[in-house]
Amino acid sequence: EDQVTQSPEALRLQEGESSSLNCSYTVSGLRGLFWYRQDPGKGPEFLFTLYSAGEEKEKERLKATLTKKESFLHITAPKPEDSATYLCAVQATGGYNKLIFGAGTRLAVHP
């Protein structure tokens, strides 16, 4: 069964304190792994797609990496505006673009 597990559930950081969020997955065949950001009361906002092990993508203070079993979202020198819930999802090969989501990591960055 395709499954996504994110850890930790919640993370509190001081401004400037770098850290990483983890997304572990099991999927029959990986077509893509997606990271989204979700602010309270809003819909998920697309950040990155990763397609193959070893791939990396960056956007401002965020960097996403992918291995055959997990993905990491590295946050370098975070700011309070980076506070949000970060969602990971996998898309299996075949099918109709179905995404399997993890429960998310709630990140709070304090000044």
Residues that bind other proteins (CB under 8 A): 4, 31-32, 34, 36, 41-46, 49, 51, 87, 89, 91, 95-104
DSSP for residue 27? -
Task: Pick left, alpha or beta for residue 24 (phi over 0 → left; psi -120 to 50 → alpha; otherwise beta).
Answer: beta
Minimum gap (Å) between residue 56 Cβ and other proteins: 15
Minimum gap (Å) between residue 81 Cβ and other proteins: 19
CB of 61 within 8 A of CB of 47?
no
The rounded distance, in Å, linking the Cα atoms of 50 and 66 is 7
**Cβ closer to other proteins: 95 or 111?**
95
CB of 70 within 8 A of CB of 102?
no
**Cβ closer to other proteins: 60 or 96?**
96
**Cβ closer to other proteins: 31 or 61?**
31
